Amino acid sequence: MDQSPTTILETRGLCKRFGGVHVARDVDFSIRQGEIHCLIGPNGAGKSSLFRLILGGYTPNSGSIHFLGEDVTRLMPHDRVRRGMSVKFQVPGIFKDLSVKQNLVISFQHHRHGQDLDATIARVLDFTGLAEVAEQIAGTLSHGRQQWLEIGMAVGAEPALLLLDEPTAGMSPEETHQTGEMLKTLNAQGVTILAVEHDMTFVQQIADRVTVLNFGQLFAQGTVAEIISHPGVAEIYLGVSDD
Ligand SMILES: Nc1ncnc2c1ncn2[C@@H]1O[C@H](COP(=O)(O)OP(=O)(O)OP(=O)(O)O)[C@@H](O)[C@H]1O
């Protein structure tokens, strides 16, 4: 099994079932250091489940997960975060009654103090384009800006791997495009990104590689161009069997 230095995360023979439902079937999946990797597939394919397995929200029935060369299969989610994973879920987990800046203070105050905390907040406000609304109550921001605030909260600790579950859900096309540019900037600064995503325009904008899941199994993997021209991928989206 490949365990080259360029592999940041790898799953080996990962299986997870709930009763008779197999949400992950023998999944061998890897993310390369420095890439933007998108996870796609039809509804119910197992994307969110794989995401939760990687983060430790679900425990696999069998198989293993390796992050930065270490077996993290049995680690609690917070121990995975401590090792460099960070996550933004689909539903914004922000404090809506607090200001943008107060949200960032709460996110970073356990890791950063004094000038270091101020510098981190300034960097995140600049990166997310939220500096002009730093004092605004977060719940009054547009949907897109609330999502950017949460991305900012997820990247303040400078993670090695950022996991995003449908980061553009509910966004306008312009907000979606801006999010893509934001993530490419972050990636250029050294953050590896895994995004579960439905919007293929967005996937084309950001992805270095794409993995397609279907019925809990790895169906195809490749560049965006390879996946788009893969005849089986179009078929599973149309609900036609590839057998
Ligand atoms: N905790 C659970 N208990 C039982 N079944 C589950 C659980 N989590 C997921 N499933 C089932 O596993 C399958 C895969 O679900 P999952 O949410 O991972 O798919 P998905 O690809 O993320 O779908 P979508 O694109 O609709 O979000 C579905 O049939 C779902 O109902």
Residue 238 confidence (pLDDT): 62
The larger pLDDT score, comparing residue 234 to residue 11, is at: 11
Q: Verify whether ligand 1 is closer than 6 Å to residue 23 (CB atom).
A: yes
Q: Verify whether ligand 1 is closer than 6 Å to residue 18 (CB atom).
A: yes
Residue 151 confidence (pLDDT): 92
Read off the pLDDT band of 74 (50, 70, 90). Answer: very high
Q: Ligand 1 centroid vs 45 CA: distance in angstroms? A: 7
| pTM, to two decimals | 0.90
Q: Verify whether ligand 1 is closer than 6 Å to residue 73 (CB atom).
A: no
Cα first-last separation, the chain = 27
Residue 92 confidence (pLDDT): 64
Judge contact between 157 and 1, C-beta under 8 A. no
Judge contact between 202 and 36, C-beta under 8 A. no
5 has pLDDT over 60:
no
Q: What is the CATH number of domain 1-84+160-243?
A: 3.40.50.300
Per domain, the residue ranges of the chain are 1-84+160-243, 90-158
The pLDDT tens digits for 76-118 are: 998 999 999 988 776 668 899 999 999 999 888 877 777 888 8
The pLDDT tens digits for 108-142 are: 887 777 788 889 999 999 989 999 999 999 999 99
Q: Verify whether ligand 1 is closer than 6 Å to residue 42 (CB atom).
A: no
The pLDDT tens digits for 164-193 are: 999 998 899 999 999 999 999 999 999 999
Residue 217 confidence (pLDDT): 94
Stretch 138-158: mean pLDDT? 91
Read off the pLDDT band of 224 (50, 70, 90). Answer: very high
